[in-house]
Every structure is written in C-alpha cells, then in structure tokens.
C-alpha cells in the first residue's frame, strides 16, 4: 500500500467534505474534509451512528460537525468538541501537483454497538414472560 491519488484539490473547496475512493482492492471509501488550514482524510461515516458525513457533515473554520446529533471535532488538533464522545480515525493526506493523495494501508472503520438497533420484538418484550404463549 502507498500514497494513492483520490481526487483533484479543486474538487473539495474549503469548508466542504466529500466522499472519495482510494482505488485499492475493491475500493476504500474515504471522506476528505477541507478546513481552514488544510485537509483531513477520515472514514466516510460518523463514529456515533454511522451517518454519511458527506451528507451530515458541516465544515466551518477548523471544525467538523455531524449535524445529526452535533458531535464535533477540531480538524486541526483532532480534539473532541461539543457532544462528541469518540475520536475520528484519520489517514495521512497530502496535496501534490494539484491532487490529493491519501496513504492507505488498511480500511479504517468504527465499531458500532449492535444494541443501538433494537428490533421490535426486543423493544416490546417486558421480560416478565407472563404474556408469552409459546
């Protein structure tokens, strides 16, 4: 694995975030945010509840906010802001000859708690078993 071109710098204006692909294997999805002082390459989903950051992410100054539940991060220091409880994972990124290059050794992903998606049967089960007929 090595530095891989993901797009032209002009495709991601300052104050925006875009989903791109590293052409490695079957393709690795990456979100690139262009903040006031540079670029950050991260997995394309929010570490809270997997919202696609190209839809829910808002870049203002050096801050990225997922507008779904207002988790935010300082993209310069990567410090957690506002409601954020988990850090962002990052890929190294650099600009070269008008292109953005990302260093990818493996796909970075977050672990999501299955309990966040409670199915209907679990939700309505009061656990006292007095209404179970089977």
Q: Between residues 103 and 110, which has the closer beta carbon with respect to ligand FES?
A: 110
Q: Does 66 bind ligand FES (CB under 6 A)?
A: yes
Q: Does 48 bind ligand FES (CB under 6 A)?
A: yes
Q: Do 75 and 61 touch, CB atoms closer than 8 A?
A: no
Q: Does 39 bind ligand FES (CB under 6 A)?
A: no
- Choosing from 6, 31, 42, 46, the residue that interacts with ligand FES (CB under 6 A) is 46
Beta strands at 63-66 and 71-74: parallel, antiparallel or unpaired: antiparallel
CA gap 93, 133 in Å, rounded: 59
Q: Do 3 and 103 touch, CB atoms closer than 8 A?
A: yes
Q: Between residues 5 and 68, which has the closer beta carbon with respect to ligand FES?
A: 68
Beta strands at 99-103 and 3-8: parallel, antiparallel or unpaired: antiparallel
- Residues in contact with ligand FES by the rule CB under 6 A: 46, 48-49, 51, 56, 66, 68-69, 71
């Amino acid at each position: 694995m090595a530095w891989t071109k993901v797009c032209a710098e002009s495709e991601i204006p300052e104050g925006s975030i875009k989903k791109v692909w590293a052409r490695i294997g079957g393709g690795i999805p990456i979100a690139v945010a262009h903040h006031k002082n540079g670029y950050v390459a991260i997995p394309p989903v929010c570490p809270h509840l997997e919202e696609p950051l190209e839809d829910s992410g808002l870049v203002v100054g050096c801050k990225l906010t997922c507008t779904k539940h207002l988790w935010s991060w300082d993209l310069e220091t990567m410090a957690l802001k506002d409601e954020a409880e988990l850090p962002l994972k990052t890929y190294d990124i650099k600009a070269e000859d008008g292109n953005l290059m990302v260093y990818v050794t493996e796909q970075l992903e977050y672990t999501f708690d299955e309990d966040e998606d409670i199915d209907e049967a679990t939700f309505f089960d009061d656990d006292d078993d007095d209404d179970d007929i089977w």
